[in-house]
Amino acid sequence: MTEACVEAGRTAGDRRVLIVDDSPDDVVLTEAALRRAGFCGTLDVARDGVEALDRLIDTAVNVLDYAVVLLDVNLPRLSGMEVLARARAAGVRLPIVVVSTSRQPAEIERALALGANEYVPKDVDFDAWCQAMRGLCERWLGGAPAAHTS
């Protein structure tokens, strides 16, 4: 557990986030950014669209209590947009934040029209990505705890 977690009085079991991304590097960077933002909970990973949809549908049935889902767009087996559409059609009401390298207005509009709660462009600058994840913590995870610097 990080120092920021201890200071905030949080334990690892407080929250659970599902990261859906096929890039191991992007997963590592997202995990690091969330931890730096002070997120102390559990991070689960789905590596493709089919695995993500299985987890989301199972979540709808078994109430796994993900606080938020971070969904990449470009996934193998089933695109992030298709995962989003099918999850919403199946009644999944969890907050789903689409993350993508694209900043194209049409893609952002499509994601929101399919039921994304938010669209966050991936940033190549790690400090900027950390700032984006801190904002995500504030919006979807009940506020960001004390800043953690490394």
For the chain, give the DSSP string. Answer: --HHHHHHT--TTS-EEEEE-S-HHHHHHHHHHHHHTT--SEEEEE-SHHHHHHHHHHHHHH----SEEEEESS-SSS-HHHHHHHHHHTT--S-EEEEES---HHHHHHHHHTT-SEEEE--SSHHHHHHHHHHHHHHHSSS--S----
Rounded Cα distance, 25 and 129, in Å: 13
Residue 5: what pLDDT?
52
Question: Is residue 108 predicted with pLDDT exceeding 60?
Answer: yes
> Which domains, ranges and CATH numbers included, belong to the chain?
3-138 (3.40.50.2300)
The mean pLDDT of 33-50, rounded to a whole number, is: 91
- The average confidence (pLDDT) of the chain is 83
Rounded Cα distance, 119 and 116, in Å: 7
Residue 63: what pLDDT?
52
Q: Which pTM was predicted? A: 0.84
Rounded Cα distance, 12 and 134, in Å: 17
Identify the residue whose tokens are 């994601």.
111
Residue 9: what pLDDT?
47
In the numeric block, which tokens belong to residue 102? 């694209």
